[in-house]
Chains A and B, each alone.
Chain A
């Protein structure tokens, strides 16, 4: 997703702001003077050990938890003076324990917020049915009660319920927690695909670093009521702020966690053409250097060409094409198995192509790291 929301746009006014928030439960001080901004249209992942205050932080963002001091602003509005009921109906919330209404059917559960907002029944029905497809629950389960669903299905209905009224802000507290690894991965992929289209402001809580690295545009690591490090997933992998971060991230995540789409902005793009340019154009020195994918003869298979000072050079026929959602690990596996080869990376939604060699990937990684904001000082 970082490819679609380059670092510059994160200077937009934050969707949610916490200013010097102190929060206590009786004698227990969960947060002391913390400040945090949540960028709009991005996925911010809150991660940290159990009891570090992730759920509390989420609760602060919709007024379920009131700070002892400091301010919380949502869409610029101070929660101390906001109509919290109306606000919550415009924020999707998936609570950690799911909390479906046991006496409501799947349909009624998902329809809850639209009904509160007095949508017409026909519109609600359309919406619920659309969401059901999204969360991969068969339509014949619409009239089932939550206790007739599996734990994973319940969790997915909980997500659909939060999405029902199409809120622009989504707070999700370990929404995929109770799922087996395969379903979990599938839902993560669905979530990413969806987010790539919808660009919601998502605050996503997890205690699983792999999930955080996979889903987060930005990760906020909490420990003992403090923000230990906040930044792009790359920074967590490549520039951990201290030993706690290092141990939390683990050593071997680099290759599997980085997705090609995150590197794509820094990789040379490939021009795709139906046919090669005519001879005279080919020879023109002024043509900008770069990659071209075009068939040698009309209707023959595509070939990768490199444009340089000497004109077009034929590089490789039928180069391997990976999806932008694939990992750095899979890219390296291909490149290392055929030394000297060039890999093409295709971004499905935009149909953009990029080319990469081992050196390109290395360069993109270090350039990305330089351009991303420097790691935020621990507070």
Chain B
């Protein structure tokens, strides 16, 4: 323990840098995944495309079933084929793929749960398609979207640590070095902040959900 405290105080700059990189990897990947998953879910809840929702969900499900490390391997191979298989971009690609499922399936469920009567009355009273999305569907599926975001973020804090395996700098870098050199101090210096980050983010989301949807959404 003393050794760990000593290491941390000596390398606080490095630790902060790696933590920020880690967080950046998570934030970026979840953001990009949401930018794909939510519009996709919106499209696949329109009557015209609805019948494909099941198929797309199956594909995304398969992505999720692939173990994290294997997915990172595939992403690395893909990028190697394009040019450079090592570093931030392959890692990001794998993490985006990994975050798709919770975001997509939650968005799909959330939007699907908007009562059709509410949607119909909105249409009947003269709301345009895009007004129905912003004023009805989005606010009513917020709780589900946020839950998906929470799952994706917490998942990816863990999976991002694996990205060190393909040379993306993050807290995982310390863990892998610790393992490789048999240095428990180094290993813990990477593992503890990772765990802490996951816990803190989980807590943050729990608070956020409680604040945003205190009574009304819980009742439904």
Contacts and interface: CB of A to CB of B under 8 A. Distances in A.
Given A99-B117, A100-B118, A101-B136, A62 B216 contact: no
Contacts of A102: 115, 118, 140, 216, 220
A102 B113 CA distance: 12
Contacts of B135: 101
Contacts of A97: 115, 117, 120-121
B24 interface: no
Contacts of A95: 117, 120-121, 124
A289 B127 CA distance: 60
Contact of A116 (B123, B126, B136, B220): B126
Interface stretch (A4-12, A83-91, A273-281, A343-351): A83-91
A228 to B, nearest CB: 27
Q: B-side binding surface: helix, strand, loop or mixed? A: helix
Contact of B126 (A86, A145, A158): A86
B216 A99 contact: no
Interface in A107-139: 112-113, 116
A113 to B, nearest CB: 5
Nearest to A171: B124
Contacts of A64: 120, 123-124
Max chain A CB contacts within 10 Å: which of B118, B120, B122, B124? B124
A100 B126 contact: no
Interface in B109-159: 115, 117-128, 131, 135-136, 139-140
A83 to B, nearest CB: 10
Interface string A48-92: 000000000000001010000000000000000000011111100
B1 interface: no
A97 B121 CA distance: 9
Contacts of A190: none
B219 interface: yes
A98 B125 CA distance: 12
B124 A62 contact: yes
B126 A113 contact: yes
A147 interface: yes
A149 B215 CA distance: 16
A31 interface: no
Nearest to B129: A85
A116 B125 CA distance: 9
Given A85-B128, A89-B126, A103 B115 contact: no
B118 to A, nearest CB: 5
16 contacts: A64-B123, A87-B126, A88-B124, A93-B125, A95-B124, A99-B117, A99-B122, A100-B121, A101-B118, A113-B126, A116-B127, A116-B131, A147-B216, A147-B220, A158-B121, A162-B125
Given A88-B125, A147-B216, 15 more contacts: A85-B128, A88-B126, A89-B125, A93-B124, A98-B117, A99-B118, A99-B122, A99-B124, A102-B118, A102-B216, A102-B220, A103-B140, A116-B127, A145-B216, A147-B219
